[in-house]
A and B are shown apart, each in its own frame.
Chain A
């Protein structure tokens, strides 16, 4: 990540430009559908970034993150339905529970590596999904199984996370995305970030040098679980509907991993790039050709994933970063060749 001063300058300028663009977009885009595509894109960017905190930086592929999102969404929704608790509070309650689950599951799982870790996360997530799908009620609380839960409409009450129109949701998810970027950025530069990278490169080596790998892996897992569950709550409140298949299913986990990997895992911007490429492409394909070719957008996802694995194993961020690193030569500065 050693970008020379010229490169950093450009990165800051670009970030500011994109930031201003994103802040003003809802002023220009008034069409509900396009606004929805934007919200979905930001939501996936946020979720892929949250996934990235543990998976991108530690190199352990989790395909169970959908369960954490489901925990968040279900808890905030259930608290609203049964206790009238505002999702603004409920989402943090859900996130805390997801953190507990994430750490408890992660603790034994991190002893496994590579595909074993990935398969075990699938197993845990599937257990939760199947259980939820087959549970109508528990302790007198209605879960409604595979049908899912609808969030009751209480009118446009901002304190209950219910707004008039889509614009407020846009700014909420944008703020969440900025927060997750800041956390990732800060983590990358902290001691923990360096430890995580060391663990990713060579776990035994890092441990031999005295890195307590379990502690740092679990810390990353805790942060990632917390953020993923917040995203799950956002999804439930935005769509006012949540069901086990869509919010806890394996497909959703694969989608998150796909965006992180295609964009570039283990970087701040990578997963966001992935989401910005894939989500609009998917949404628009679904809207225009979905009637004739249902599933076409997933074929496109699959193709992009294969191409990325074959030609850009470090993600889309790789060529972009090279671009940033090379251009200073034109302005006279001698750019040291940084390894992407």
Chain B
């Protein structure tokens, strides 16, 4: 294998992997705090991609500006889904044993509805945004070029991760979220409104996808069917990095991005994701806490 090509693949994988990591943050946060696998995660991302697309298509608003709309919109959507649909499960579960499967299937239902309503409204086409500097790239050395929009997305992913980590550590709301994750009942005894924390957490997990969607749409066309694949990829990322660990997400995303990108040099691009699944299974069997994982 040519070392230069391999190097390019690794760099591309890192850039893409940062984005995978940012997409998975929301899933990890929600699972870490609520113990709910949000099966609709990829569908929320799909909505997060469609919002900047339509703002660009209808009003010619730059996708990066659309963040101001997409992030609050996704927050509201996530908040609503949790407050209206998932919260009743919790209230019922209080007396009974926790049944994570019902929450998983519930969110699967939400995902099916979101995917297919979008499909009914917009059809199966892939739609993209072409902004002026989308095709421009900068060169590192002689062989390596990185597309500006991808690089911006990578930086935004890292930025999001840092911001979210700081938020969880430094602010009162962040502390309340972490304490709820550690022990729901103890947090409630300390005066934390657990259900509200759950709503906010779910909203935040989705708001991240609003931001990611806006930085992603300039180079990643969206169609209503992309949700499930991104959802599954996010599960892999989260498990790789260690569930509930925000920096772990980025690490998991980077590993996944590099593996997919390098594997695509050896096999067809479509079968490259087999390797991600294999890694996922190996990690679950041999290091179920993930690379950076610890008990939340």
- Give chain A's interface residues, CB within 8 Å of chain B: 59, 61, 108, 111-112, 114-116, 118-120, 122-124, 126-127, 130-131, 133-134, 250-251, 254, 257-258, 261, 293-296, 298-299, 301-306, 309-310, 313
Contact = CB atoms under 8 A, between A and B. Distances in A.
Question: Top 10 nearest A-B pairs by Cβ distance?
Answer: A302-B112, A295-B116, A305-B109, A302-B113, A134-B271, A306-B109, A309-B106, A302-B109, A295-B119, A123-B277
6 contacts: A108-B285, A118-B104, A123-B281, A127-B277, A254-B112, A295-B120
B110 A310 contact: no
B171 to A, nearest CB: 29
Secondary structure dominating the interface of A: helix
A101 B55 CA distance: 48
Contacts, number: 118
Given A123-B281, A295-B116, A310-B88, A116 B288 contact: yes
A59 B98 CA distance: 12
Interface residues of B, number: 42
B102 interface: yes
A254 B108 contact: yes
Contact of B112 (A115, A119, A294, A298): A298
A299 B108 contact: no
Nearest to A309: B106
A61 B106 contact: no
Interface in B112-131: 112-113, 115-117, 119-120
B239 interface: yes
Nearest to B106: A309
A310 B273 contact: no
A261 B105 contact: yes
Given A302-B111, A302-B113, 5 more contacts: A116-B288, A127-B278, A131-B274, A257-B105, A295-B115
B37 interface: yes
B85 interface: yes
B152 to A, nearest CB: 30
Interface centre among A123, A293, A313 (most CB of B within 10 A): A123
A61 B104 contact: yes
Contacts of A116: 239, 284, 288
A208 B48 CA distance: 48
A251 B239 CA distance: 22
B7 interface: no
A310 B106 contact: yes
Contacts of A112: 284, 288
Given A61-B101, A115-B37, A305 B88 contact: no
A62 to B, nearest CB: 11
Contact of A120 (B85, B88, B92, B281): B281
A134 B268 contact: yes
A306 B106 contact: yes
A201 to B, nearest CB: 9
A115 B102 CA distance: 10
